Amino acid sequence: MAAAAPAQPGDFQAARPAYWFPLLLFGGVAALSLPLSVLGSPRPPTGVAELSAEIYPTITKAMYFGGGSATRPFPFPLGWYWVGALMAGQLLTGAWYRWRDRRTGSQTPLRGYLVTGLVLAAVTAVLPLAAWGTPVQVEGPGLNTWSWLEVFRLGTFALLAAGVSLALLARSGHNRALGIITAVYIAAVCLAGFLELQQAFVLPAFPFAGPAVLLPAAVLLLSGLGALASGLRGRRR
C-alpha cells in the first residue's frame, strides 16, 4: 500500500477557519473604544451649562472634534474612531484573506465585500454631518436629535456595518458557522444599541463610549478565539 503524502503547510492553512481573523479584529476595535474614550477624556465637565454652551456647541462637533472648545475636558472624538476602525477592519480583513488565498491556492471573492464595506464606512462618516449646525440642547426637540445620533457616536451604526461585512463573507464562502455567529452578533449590537438609546434621552454627562459595546465585542472575541482554537486543534491532529 502506498504511503500517504505528507501534509503541506498550505493544507493546514486550508483546514483552519479563516474567519477567526475578522472576528478578533472587529471585536478588538469595538472593545478598545471604551478605554480609549476614557483615557482621552480625563476630566468631566462640571455643569450642564458648561456642557451645552462651551464643550458641545453642535452635535456633530461633539462627535468629530471633541466639542470645539480649547479648554479641558477635550473628549475623545469617537465619530472619527468608528469611521477609521470600520475602514481599517475592512482593508485588513481583505488583505488577510488575500494572503491566505496565496498560501492555500484558493480564491475568496472579496470585491462585493470591500465595495460594500467602504460604502458603509463613507455613510458612517457623512450622515452625522447633516446635523452640523444643530446645537446641543438639554430639553426640547434638540435632545431627540442628539439621541438618534448616539447610534453613530457610540458605534452602533459602525458595528452593524461590520455585521453586514461579516454576513457577506459568510455568504461568499458558504460558511454556515460564520453566518450563525454573525446573526448572534447583530442581535447583540441591536440589543446594546437599544439599551444605549434608552439612556440617551437624558443627556449624558460626558461622551464616553457606552459600556454596552462590550456585549457585541465579547461575541466576536469569544467566537474568534473559539474558531482559532478549533483550527489549532485540527492542525495538531
Residues of the chain short of pLDDT 50, as ranges, are: 1-15, 47-53, 68-73, 203-206
Instruction: State which amino acid sits at residue 23.
Output: L
| Residues near 149 by beta carbon (within 8 Å), at least 6 away in sequence | 59, 60, 63, 128, 131
pLDDT of residue 1: 42
Three cell numbers, residue 65: 472634534
Rg of the chain over all Cα atoms, to the nearest angstrom: 21
pLDDT of residue 53: 45
pLDDT of residue 14: 46
Q: How far is Cα 41 from Cα 69, in angstroms, rounded to an integer?
A: 13
Q: What is the pTM of this model?
A: 0.77
pLDDT of residue 13: 45
Q: How many CA atoms lie within 13 A of 225 on its CB side?
A: 7
pLDDT of residue 231: 72
Three cell numbers, residue 36: 480609549
pLDDT of residue 151: 75
pLDDT of residue 79: 75
Q: How far is Cα 232 from Cα 110, in angstroms, rounded to an integer?
A: 25
C-alpha 189 chain-centroid distance: 10
pLDDT of residue 68: 45
Three cell numbers, residue 151: 447610534
Q: Interhelix angle for 141-153 vs 176-200, to 10°?
A: 150
DSSP structure string for 86-116: HHHHHHHHHHHHHHHHHHHT-----HHHHHH
